[in-house]
Chains A and B, each alone.
Chain A
């Protein structure tokens, strides 16, 4: 089982019938020249890459920009196109008056699988009071959170709000809440691996190619910046394959991970096993 834990659905044709919708999403998310991606072609790309499932992450800053980049209802429509392949997370602007109700609706009615939050875009630290109710709902309903962590390519996203160590209180205060520090928290990957080793509920993903090719970047981070045995022996059950598509192609990010000289059991865990546990698919 290969799962891409980190992809963004904003270019899919299912939700972009109106050209103005596509333009809004491109500007807000910062993918300025990418064209529409038909859902059927996305499935072809996944089949070609031999990826079994992809997790789509929406974002909602509607109190600021008037509408979600991808709403929860739109996400449910995307998932309905191919439930076998697509896993949809919810997106909630925590400043919405109905934030708690909308999150519960996203989980209970729309059957979305987790929550995505980019606190850098929200200009909000993880201990902001308005986030606590959302954390409680996710913990009670056994739904994981994907936090953006570290450097964000999106416009208007100061990294200070998403430094990995800032999430330590969340890990302590919500021990049954699984959350992922996306992008390995780059450039603070040392803080991230501390969090991975210390807290059973903290995960990270590989959507972190900030320079160079995926092959060269993963080699350097895991074998030069780190020792590859740290990944193989210390947090092998915590790192999940993520591509950050459409900023990077699924297939090329995956090839970069597969190029690492990892033990077979570790490779299997990174490519899908850890994501299954994170998503609650093993229950």
Chain B
């Protein structure tokens, strides 16, 4: 059996780590699926799905490390008008940070619950805010 839910999130900063662990747990528990996997997948190319410890210091280190690896001010190629969009491609850092962050995570579902380590939280990570965003939660199992 497969249960798919699409959630919306609104980011309020250029970089923002938005905890969605509770939303994922709720979808799993309401899915009727007892054993299997849950996947969390972003719909975008300048966002990420991360799993990490929900401490402000860790979140800040993640932000600072991404900024060190992908500076805002750099001669990126993806910095020009896109004729097929009619808008400017000024978000190369978001795309590159998204590559580092990854677009999904997976957790086991056992006895109808998502199994995580004690300090594991799931984040929807905005890397090109502010924007209105969407992500999938898909529960697969029996």
Say whether B73 faces chain A, with CB atoms less than 8 Å apart.
yes
Determine if A249 and B85 form an interchain contact, defined as CB atoms under 8 angstroms apart.
no
Say whether B130 faces chain A, with CB atoms less than 8 Å apart.
yes
Q: How far is the CB of B10 from chain A (nearest CB, A)?
A: 7
Determine if B90 and A214 form an interchain contact, defined as CB atoms under 8 angstroms apart.
yes
Known A-B contacts A44-B12, A48-B130; the reply to A213 vs B79 at CB < 8 A is: yes
Q: How far is the CB of B71 from chain A (nearest CB, A)?
A: 12
Give the interface size class of chain B: 10 to 19
Interface string of B1-13 (1 = CB under 8 A from A): 0000000001010
Say whether B81 faces chain A, with CB atoms less than 8 Å apart.
yes
Determine if A247 and B132 form an interchain contact, defined as CB atoms under 8 angstroms apart.
no
Determine if B12 and A31 form an interchain contact, defined as CB atoms under 8 angstroms apart.
no
Determine if A248 and B87 form an interchain contact, defined as CB atoms under 8 angstroms apart.
yes
Determine if A248 and B73 form an interchain contact, defined as CB atoms under 8 angstroms apart.
no
Determine if B81 and A210 form an interchain contact, defined as CB atoms under 8 angstroms apart.
yes
Say whether B60 faces chain A, with CB atoms less than 8 Å apart.
no
Closest to B75 in A: A216
Say whether A234 faces chain B, with CB atoms less than 8 Å apart.
no
Interface string of A223-264 (1 = CB under 8 A from B): 000000000000000000000001111001000000000000
Bound together, the chains give a CA A61 to CA B86 distance in angstroms of 19
Q: Which residues of A contact B80 (CB under 8 A)?
A: 211-212
Q: Which residues of A contact B58 (CB under 8 A)?
A: none
Q: Which residues of A contact B132 (CB under 8 A)?
A: 35, 38, 41
Pick the residue among A48, A210, A249 that contacts B90 (CB under 8 A): A249
Q: How far is the CB of A170 from chain B (nearest CB, A)?
A: 29
Q: How far is the CB of B26 from chain A (nearest CB, A)?
A: 25
Determine if A246 and B79 form an interchain contact, defined as CB atoms under 8 angstroms apart.
no
Give the interface size class of chain A: 20 to 34
Say whether A32 faces chain B, with CB atoms less than 8 Å apart.
yes
Determine if A34 and B79 form an interchain contact, defined as CB atoms under 8 angstroms apart.
no
CB within 8 Å of A: which of B72-88? 73, 79-81, 84-88
Known A-B contacts A45-B130, A247-B86; the reply to A153 vs B79 at CB < 8 A is: no
Q: Which residues of B contact A41 (CB under 8 A)?
A: 10, 130, 132
Closest to B87 in A: A247
Q: Which residues of A contact B12 (CB under 8 A)?
A: 44, 48
Say whether A133 faces chain B, with CB atoms less than 8 Å apart.
no
Q: Which residues of B contact A153 (CB under 8 A)?
A: 81, 86
Say whether A96 faces chain B, with CB atoms less than 8 Å apart.
no
Bound together, the chains give a CA A26 to CA B84 distance in angstroms of 11
30 A-B contacts (beta carbon < 8 Å):
A26-B86, A29-B86, A30-B86, A31-B86, A32-B85, A32-B86, A33-B85, A34-B86, A34-B87, A35-B132, A44-B12, A45-B130, A48-B12, A153-B81, A153-B86, A209-B88, A210-B81, A211-B81, A213-B90, A214-B90, A215-B73, A216-B79, A246-B87, A247-B81, A247-B86, A247-B88, A248-B88, A248-B90, A249-B90, A252-B90
Using CB atoms and an 8 Å cutoff, list the residues of chain A in contact with chain B.
26, 29-35, 38, 41, 44-45, 48, 153, 209-216, 246-249, 252
Using CB atoms and an 8 Å cutoff, list the residues of chain B in contact with chain A.
10, 12, 73, 79-81, 84-88, 90, 130, 132
Q: Which 8 pairs between the two chains have the least Cβ-Cβ distance?
A: A31-B86, A30-B86, A33-B85, A247-B87, A248-B88, A213-B79, A32-B86, A252-B90
